[in-house]
Structure 1
Amino acid sequence: MRIRRLAVTLAVAVATALLPFVSADAAPGNPVSMTDGFYADPDLQAAVWVRSHSGDARAARIRTAVAAVPQGKWFGEWSGDVRSAVSAYVTAADRANKLPILVPYFMYGRDCGSHSAGGASSPDAYKRWITDFAAGIQDKPAVVVLEPDALAQRLDCVPSGQRAVRLELLRFAVDALRSAPNAWTYLDAGNASWVSPDTMAGELHAAGAQKIRGFALNVSNYHTTAESKSYADKVNAKLKARFGYTKPFVVDSSRNGNGPAPGNEWCNPAGRKIGAATRVGGVNGVEMQLWVKNPGESDGACGIAPTTPAGQFSPDLTMRLIEGR
């Protein structure tokens, strides 16, 4: 594997330079070219449920429509020794010659104390954690979607006295992840209806997005890929006008098959549907469509899953997303 990777890294160096939007600071390895498709986590909650409920009438459909689809592996306080956890995961993917999707979700002040509250106990604890996270990747190919909501929330619900700390921590995370030479990192940039494109362009630049592969949109949300692309194009236009560069972007398509709910309700809204499965491209100008959010895992005790805590798998919620009801 290592011999193949070294050869591929040399071969793709020129090709990577020719890809659209790439800056001089982008990671030298191309993880897409180094692997054969994306990695499906065998320990995804949906996959575990299917294995333990093989006699359930819903199991076969959940297996095919959700559990078998490559999607994000989220890391946080539940991960234990994060360096070891990340290393084990990327090593398993590497042995299968597949590309893993990693989601570090441990920001200090995470989710502003809402449904997904938690994360690091202090700024220094976060710095230690994200340093270990990056070290766990080593030289393995990976896609990293960095800290969902953290940047968009900075000017939203983060207390004004903590906003500079949030920005400092994101810049630190960006720099830490640059140590993984064959990982492409995409800094989460909210969704199409949250922050104005001009403001988001400034936030991305301030957080160091120019140093990494690009940005991610629609994580755990429902906006269509077309809506997300339109928003990304506006963000890139502002990045170009203000800072002289543009960046590639990825879109979370896990639950955007029916678009957003009325009023942009986000917490387990009814009538939503899974979207296009994880893939490279698929829509002109979108670098990847990824299932970053794990469909069927609750947004919180709300909406059509009023008794299901955030992050817990629900077969009923999953079936509703499969069927779009």
Structure 2
Amino acid sequence: MRSTLRVALVLLTLGLIGGQPTSGLAVATGDPLKLTSGFYVDPGSAAAAYVRRHPEDTELAAKIASQASARWFGAWSGDVKAAVASYTTAADKADKLPVLVTDNLPGRQCGLGGGASTDTAYRTWIAGVSAGIGSRPAVVVIEPDALARLDCFPETEWTGRIALLKYAVGVFAVKNPNTWAYLDAGNAMSGDAPEIARRLRLADVGKIRGFALNTANYYTTAESTARATDILTALGGGLHYVIDTSRNGNGSNGSSCNPPGRKLGPPMAAGTAPTDLTLWLKPPGESDGPCGLTPTLPTRTFSPILAHHLIAGT
């Protein structure tokens, strides 16, 4: 966070500026873009680690490792409060905006399993993510495909799963004043837009900044924008959204698992309302799972093969 705002926030915490009570003084804007000077390039990303081992790969270094992308947090993150605090603190010291994705709902997305072991464990975990961010500026995308793939679970489980998302929304809304949080809404082809809007509403999306589209998928920005417009219409407007452009340069071929012929999309940037941001949510080069171009590569594992296919668009 910029130094003048940092000092002001400390004084606000003490309750005094210039010896006077600070009631009503709005120093923390709540807008993480105004509190930072660009997006955080994660030196701990898998792409950055690969480039450190292979400095001769200057193309990958320039096109991917040097670009800002999100960091995902899940069961693999260990002490999530500490992990998130370390990440957001490093970004804050650099005066840059970190982007986080939470991916730990019990059962996670359809067919993947994993995630928190119980509902109580998830609530504790998401509270840890929130505590790790605190008042530092951040962008958070909540649980990719959790609403869009709700149909994969028995209807008897829907209410409980939505309640967990509602809890996550409420935590970020109350505890993180300088965070823009977005509840994931699937992609351009995720069923019926009014139904997705209904699910977003049930999860209290109106308490946070808005929703996210195309997370870890390949649909074009134009397709995602059209989808967002349909969802906003069904919601009655008033919200904002972000789009994952990390791999959408050539659009989708219908597959969402390491398909060939895909390409990097535009790097992270601020948008024009109601599009808040275009983001690299899925770090380019990280596998969707053992499928497509890398049939034996586990999920989240970095591959220079995938990375170079995205660079070349082949």
Q: Secondary structure at the match of 1:288?
A: strand
Which residue of 153, 172, 175 maps to 2:170? Answer: 175
The equivalent position to 1:84 in structure 2, one of 57, 82, 85, is 82
Instruction: Quote the offset at 1:161 in angstroms.
Output: 2.2
Q: Secondary structure of the equivalent of 1:111?
A: coil
Distance 1:145 1:107 in 2: 13
TM-score, normalization by structure 1: 0.87
Q: Distance in 2 between matches of 1:284 and 1:129?
A: 32
Q: Which 5+ residue runs of structure 1 have no aligned equivalent? A: 9-26
SS in 1 for 2:149: helix
Residues 126-170 of structure 1 deviation map (CA, whole Å, 9 limit, x = unaligned): 00000111011010000001111111111x212222111110100
Kept in 2: contact 1:229–1:285 (CA 8 A): no
Distance 1:111-1:257 versus aligned 2 partners, 3 A rule? same
**How far apart in 2 are the matches of 1:28 and 1:206?**
28
Instruction: State the alpha-carbon separation in 1 of the partners of residues 96 and 215 from structure 2.
Output: 22
Of the three residues 134, 157, 173, the one matched with 1:162 is 157
SS at 2:100 equivalent: strand
Q: Which position in structure 2 is the counterpart of 1:40? A: 41
2:260 pairs with one of 270, 274, 281: 270
Corresponding residue for residue 22 of structure 1: none
Aligned pairs (5 A) from 1:51-130: 51-55=52-56, 59-114=57-112, 117-130=113-126
- Per the TM alignment, residue 2 of structure 1 is displaced from its structure 2 partner at its CA by 5.8
Q: 1:230 aligns with which of 218, 222, 226?
A: 226
Note if contact 2:240-2:273 (Cα within 8 Å) is conserved in structure 1. Answer: no
Deviations 1:238-292 (A, max 9, x none): 111xxxx43110000000000001xx111111100010001111x6742110000
Partner of 1:194: 190
What letter is aligned with 1:255?
R
Report the counterpart of residue 204 of structure 1 in structure 2.
200
The match for 2:298 among 285, 303, 309 is 309
Preserved CA contact (<8 Å) 1:254 1:295: yes
Aligned partners of 1:232, 1:128: CA distance in 2, in Å?
31
Report the Cα offset of residue 28 of structure 1.
5.5
Q: What is the root-mean-square deviation in Å for CA atoms of aligned residues?
A: 1.7
User: Which residue identity is paired with 2:53?
Assistant: S
Relative contact order, CA 8 A, sep 6+: which one is greater?
A: 1
- Give the TM-score normalised by the residue count of structure 2: 0.90
Q: CA deviation at 1:70?
A: 0.6
Alignment partners' CA distance in 1, 2:224 and 2:52:
35
**What residue in structure 2 maps to residue 23 of structure 1?**
none
Q: One-letter code of the match for 1:190? A: G
Residue of structure 1 aligned with 2:249, choices 257, 270, 290: 257
Residue 20 of structure 2 corresponds to which residue in structure 1? none
How far apart are 1:310 and its partner, in Å? 0.9
- Cα distance in 1 for partners of 2:8, 2:217 equals 39
C-alpha separation in 1, matches of 2:8 and 2:219: 39
Aligned-residue sequence identity (percent) comes to 47
- CA shift, 1:42, in A, is 0.2
Task: Tell me which residue corresponds to 1:280.
Answer: 270
How far apart are the structure 1 equivalents of 2:274 and 2:85? Answer: 32
The unaligned stretches of length 5 or more in structure 2 are 10-27
Q: State the 1:312 CA deviation.
A: 0.5
Which structure 1 residue ranges, 4+ long, deviate > 3 Å from structure 2?
A: 5-8
Distance 2:29 2:169 in 1: 15
User: Following the alignment from structure 2 to structure 1, what is the Cα–Cα distance between the partners of residues 188 and 304?
Assistant: 29
Aligned to 1:50: 51
Quick one: distance in 1 between partners of 2:172 and 2:246?
25
